[in-house]
A = this chain, B = another copy of it.
């Protein structure tokens, strides 16, 4: 592999002049700069970013820890985070915790040892003390940590409200909410609160059934859904806390010959690709994942510059009407 010395030899300049060009330090004529870059190209020289990182004490890398890459919500989120990072000349080190404490801890250690410039965590099992050792900015997305780390959220409460309101406006009188995992407090819990408050306000009968961590980790809800439908034959509107659950609800309904939306109306949450790919496509609450990713990266950079960042940043949601209502 070509070295800095080779570039110096090729251009007839000194190593320190070439180094000044690369680091944009001091006065360099346009001609010299051009010579250096064309020699670099000719020799296929790539500056060693590892060495530069060491001296700059910054790796331009951020660690992203998610519980499940293959969950369509996180796939969409990672895709948007990568795109935002690219525009800030940052690289993404991706870690999949599988929602396991031990792996989250290991990944946080790896982030620290590899001197990442910041960490975005979307998986929230690790206890407070694990984070106090992290000397880089940390932002969570749709997760709370006990120590009050800055969180980027969508307006989950408003989402629950919009879902309930839409089902009520469509004539539903017997509502059910299939809610998320309840073991840790998280922003998504607000979906249920918004839903319940709206049902009470409109005097509409409602129930909530919580899914389990096991279901969340296996992405498998069919059995749970079947039981809910069996126990509640008079339900005419369901608000599912993810499009993934809503897609599986559609499958169970097809099996039981429950006609959607005639006999049962469904609203999902997230608005990820699966919502637009089912038959019929799912009416859902749109999370502004692109904007949330943009804000998360910007907050991380701002915190890295020593600025105070808001504890919570809540972005608006909208109802996307498709064919399940």
Q: Are B114 and A91 in contact (CB under 8 A)?
A: yes
Known A-B contacts A69-B79, A82-B96, A133-B44; A251 and B279 likewise in contact (beta carbons under 8 Å): yes
Q: Are A82 and B94 in contact (CB under 8 A)?
A: yes
Residues of B contacting A49 in the complex (Cβ-Cβ under 8 angstroms) = 110, 113-115
A47: min CB distance to chain B, Å = 6
**A320-B318 Cα distance, complex, nearest whole Å:** 37
**A179-B323 Cα distance, complex, nearest whole Å:** 29
Interface pick from A5-13, A70-78, A120-128: A70-78
What is A's interface to B at a CB cutoff of 8 Å?
A: 1, 44, 46-51, 53-54, 59, 61, 68-70, 72, 75-76, 78-79, 82-83, 86, 91-96, 98, 103, 109-110, 112-115, 132-133, 135, 219, 244, 247-248, 250-251, 253-254, 273-274, 277-281
Contacts A251-B280, A277-B278 known; list 16 others, CB within 8 Å: A49-B110, A49-B114, A61-B93, A68-B79, A70-B72, A70-B75, A82-B96, A83-B96, A91-B114, A92-B93, A251-B278, A253-B279, A254-B279, A254-B280, A274-B274, A274-B277
Known A-B contacts A50-B114, A70-B76, A251-B281; A219 and B91 likewise in contact (beta carbons under 8 Å): no
Which residue of B has the minimal Cβ distance to A272?
B70
Known A-B contacts A113-B47, A280-B254; A69 and B59 likewise in contact (beta carbons under 8 Å): no
Q: Are B277 and A244 in contact (CB under 8 A)?
A: yes
A215: min CB distance to chain B, Å = 14
Indicate how many identical chains form the complex: 2
Residues of B contacting A279 in the complex (Cβ-Cβ under 8 angstroms) = 247, 250-251, 253-254, 278-279
Output the residue of A76, A96, A110, A253 with the most chain B CB within 10 A: A96
**A273-B242 Cα distance, complex, nearest whole Å:** 15
- List 19 contacting pairs A-B, 8 Å CB cutoff, sorted by A: A44-B133, A46-B113, A48-B115, A49-B115, A50-B54, A50-B114, A54-B54, A69-B82, A70-B72, A70-B273, A82-B94, A83-B98, A92-B93, A92-B94, A244-B277, A254-B279, A254-B280, A274-B274, A274-B277
